[in-house]
């Protein structure tokens, strides 16, 4: 039995897959603690873990960030994205490290397993000199030799012009993120660590082991460095796994879904940066008069509806479990959350992706290149663009065939178990390097 500490930034989209990982460690007989926010303690306790809450680091409500970060703002675009990264993920890093060091002093861990936005865990691993594993819950953005710069959603370079493009974009990226780099260096110093020459976007990736959600076929080609291992869809159980207890009752319209003979289209804006007018509204405008059943989720259990009328063929809920919904879905329209994309593809469901910011343009581009869906290349598509993409997928069986091909590859993994096995192997090698 090992002492395992997981570090999870308190966002629902990070918590859901990491709770499954925590449960896998506990089921394997390890003693598990999880460092996360108070709102998500119950999810990890149900998985058999002890919760260490954010204290020195400012705990927050992901649906009311301004209450904790009053200078954050509520805008959109690149400027807002930079503020979010700086204040939420970087400027909390040293305080996260203090919390983790206090937990380590109380009971040392054998290994630290952190999802890839946990900068404080990176600092704590350096301070304690303990083995460290990164679980990447987003499209992998490591800048390896030959890979395109992250954030642009562009394919790998071909030829001299392509490599020149990458050099220019990497230079531009370094200029655009100079403030973030300064913030990272400041937080590293506050955590009692000397400069290490790493950029902030590299700092959250363990140099020892990166367990990347997804499969190589959904990534750009990478050199085999040995530390990156693809583990499939972390929140999707293998076919022979026991069913988890249902957290919420199914919506009252569920029997209608089961009996429906028309195509079912699932529309989701995700669980963060919820502005349903960006995607749900144009999807309603596009498909409200089509011969389909629209199943739309708000992303919040306490908000069962949208601030605009729904068409007669739409059925709405806060959440519907992917494991129960997706087997009935013909096409999924999404804002590009990586966990949702992997869940859909694990069920062979083709996608229309409107990725607006953060990691979502990368996710959308990967879906487009895979042939399992269409990248709309914007987070705010027009109804006409959504309708055109849906009709293209509905008319061309190749999209579903490609989604089913990827489903077979994803279903070959048991991601949580693989994270445990890879972590155990890392601890064994660390204990006996010979």
pLDDT of 62 reads: 85
Distance of CA 265 to the CA centre of its chain: 22
Please list the alpha-helical segments (H only) found in 231-279. Answer: 254-259
Residue with tokens 């607006």: 356
- Span 339-367, average pLDDT: 93
Q: Would you give the DSSP letter of residue 156?
A: P
pLDDT of 434 reads: 55
Which residues have a Cβ under 8 Å from the Cβ of 121 and sit 6 or more positions away?
7, 35, 96, 100, 112, 114, 132, 204
pLDDT 10s digits, 383-422: 999 999 999 999 999 999 999 999 999 999 999 999 999 9
Q: Assess whether pLDDT exceeds 80 at residue 296.
A: yes
pLDDT of 238 reads: 43
Beta strand 314-317 with 264-268 is unpaired
Q: Which is more confident, 159 or 76?
A: 159
Main-chain phi, psi angles of 5, to 5 degrees: -110, 125
Please list the alpha-helical segments (H only) found in 306-414. Answer: 322-325, 338-346, 360-370, 383-395, 397-411
Q: Which is more confident, 174 or 111?
A: 111
Residues composing the chain: 434
Q: Would you give the DSSP letter of residue 232?
A: B
Cα 230 from Cα 217, distance rounded (Å): 10
CATH superfamily, with its number, for domain 3-238+413-431: Glycogen Phosphorylase B; (3.40.50.2000)
pLDDT of 201 reads: 83
Element holding 275 (H helix, E strand): none
276-300 in b/e form (b: 16+ CB < 10 A) is bebbbbbbbbbbbebebbbbbbbbe
Give the confidence band of 21 by pLDDT, cuts at 50, 70, 90.
Answer: very high
Cα 7 from Cα 10, distance rounded (Å): 9
- Span 316-325, average pLDDT: 89
pLDDT of 302 reads: 66
Handedness of CA 256, 257, 263, 266 (dihedral sign): positive
Element holding 434 (H helix, E strand): none
Residue with tokens 């490591």: 142
- Span 271-289, average pLDDT: 87
How many helical (H) and strand (E) elements, i.e. helices and strands, does the chain have? 16, 13
pLDDT 10s digits, 88-128: 999 999 999 999 999 999 999 999 999 999 999 999 999 99
Give the confidence band of 273 by pLDDT, cuts at 50, 70, 90.
Answer: low
- Span 148-168, average pLDDT: 87
Cα 92 from Cα 123, distance rounded (Å): 11
Q: Which residues pair with 136 in a beta bridge?
A: 212
Cα 144 from Cα 382, distance rounded (Å): 35
- Span 336-340, average pLDDT: 91
pLDDT of 231 reads: 96
Q: Distance from first CA to last CA of the chain, Å, rounded?
A: 22
CB 370 within 8 A of CB 217: yes
- Span 364-380, average pLDDT: 95
Q: Which is more confident, 356 or 52?
A: 52
Q: Which residues pair with 35 in a beta bridge?
A: 7, 52
pLDDT of 241 reads: 42
Question: What burial class does residue 109 get, using C-beta atoms within 10 Å of its C-beta: 0-12 exposed, 13-18 middle, 19+ buried?
Answer: buried
For 316, the 3-state DSSP assignment is strand
Give the confidence band of 66 by pLDDT, cuts at 50, 70, 90.
Answer: confident
- Helix, strand, coil in percent for the chain, rounding step 5: 45, 15, 45
Tell which phi-psi region holds residue 197, choosing left (phi > 0), alpha (psi between -120 and 50) or beta.
Answer: left
Beta strand 50-53 with 111-115 is unpaired
Cut 0.85: pTM above it: yes
- Span 24-28, average pLDDT: 95
pLDDT 10s digits, 188-216: 999 999 998 888 888 989 999 999 999 99
Rg for the chain, CA atoms, rounded: 21
Tell which phi-psi region holds residue 10, choosing left (phi > 0), alpha (psi between -120 and 50) or beta.
Answer: beta
pLDDT of 415 reads: 94
Cα 146 from Cα 223, distance rounded (Å): 8
- Quote the crossing angle between the two packed helices 12-27 and 338-346, to the nearest 10°: 60
CATH superfamily, with its number, for domain 254-411: Glycogen Phosphorylase B; (3.40.50.2000)
Residue with tokens 């306490």: 302
Domain limits, the chain: 3-238+413-431, 254-411
Strands of 116-190, DSSP E:
132-136
- Span 416-431, average pLDDT: 92
Q: Assess whether pLDDT exceeds 70 at residue 325.
A: yes
- Span 257-280, average pLDDT: 86
Please list the alpha-helical segments (H only) found in 194-321. Answer: 200-203, 254-259, 280-287
């Amino acid at each position: 039995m090992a002492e395992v500490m997981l570090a999870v930034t308190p966002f629902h989209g990070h918590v859901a897959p990491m709770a499954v990982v925590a449960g896998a460690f506990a089921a394997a007989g390890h003693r598990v603690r999880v460092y996360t926010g108070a709102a998500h303690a119950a999810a990890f306790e149900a998985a058999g873990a002890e919760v260490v809450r954010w204290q020195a680091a400012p705990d927050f409500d992901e649906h009311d960030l301004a209450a904790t970060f009053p200078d954050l703002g509520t805008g959109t675009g690149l400027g807002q994205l930079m503020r979010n990264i700086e204040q939420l993920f970087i400027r909390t890093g040293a305080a996260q490290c203090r919390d983790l060091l206090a937990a380590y002093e109380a009971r040392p861990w054998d290994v630290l397993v952190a999802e890839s936005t946990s900068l404080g865990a990176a600092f704590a691993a350096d301070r304690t000199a303990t083995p460290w594993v990164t679980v990447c819950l987003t499209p992998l953005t490591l800048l390896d030799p030959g890979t395109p710069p992250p954030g642009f959603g562009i394919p790998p370079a071909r030829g001299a012009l392509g490599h020149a493009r990458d050099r220019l974009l990497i230079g531009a990226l370094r200029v655009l993120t100079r403030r973030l780099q300064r913030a990272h260096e400041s937080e590293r110093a506050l955590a009692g660590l000397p400069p290490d020459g790493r950029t902030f976007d590299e700092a959250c990736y363990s140099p020892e082991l990166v367990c990347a959600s997804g499969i190589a076929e959904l990534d750009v080609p990478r050199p085999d460095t040995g530390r990156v291992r693809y583990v499939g869809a972390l929140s999707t159980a293998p076919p022979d796994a026991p069913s988890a207890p249902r957290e919420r009752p199914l919506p009252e319209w569920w029997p209608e879904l089961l009996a429906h003979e028309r195509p079912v289209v699932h529309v989701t804006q995700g669980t963060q940066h919820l502005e349903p007018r960006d995607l749900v509204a144009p999807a309603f405008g596009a498909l409200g008069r089509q011969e389909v059943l629209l199943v739309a989720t708000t992303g919040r259990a306490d908000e069962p509806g949208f601030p605009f009328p729904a068409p007669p063929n739409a059925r709405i809920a806060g959440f519907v479990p992917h494991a129960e919904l997706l087997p009935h879905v013909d096409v999924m329209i999404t804002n590009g959350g990586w966990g949702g994309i992997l869940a859909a593809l694990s069920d062979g469901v083709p996608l229309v992706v409107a990725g607006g910011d953060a990691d979502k343009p990368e996710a959308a581009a990967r879906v487009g290149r895979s042939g399992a869906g269409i990248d709309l290349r914007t987070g705010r598509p027009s109804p006409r663009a959504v309708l055109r993409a849906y009709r293209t997928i509905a008319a061309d069986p190749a999209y579903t065939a490609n989604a089913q091909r990827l489903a077979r590859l994803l279903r070959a993994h048991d991601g949580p178990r693989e994270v445990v096995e890879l972590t155990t192997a890392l601890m064994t090698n660390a204990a006996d390097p010979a």
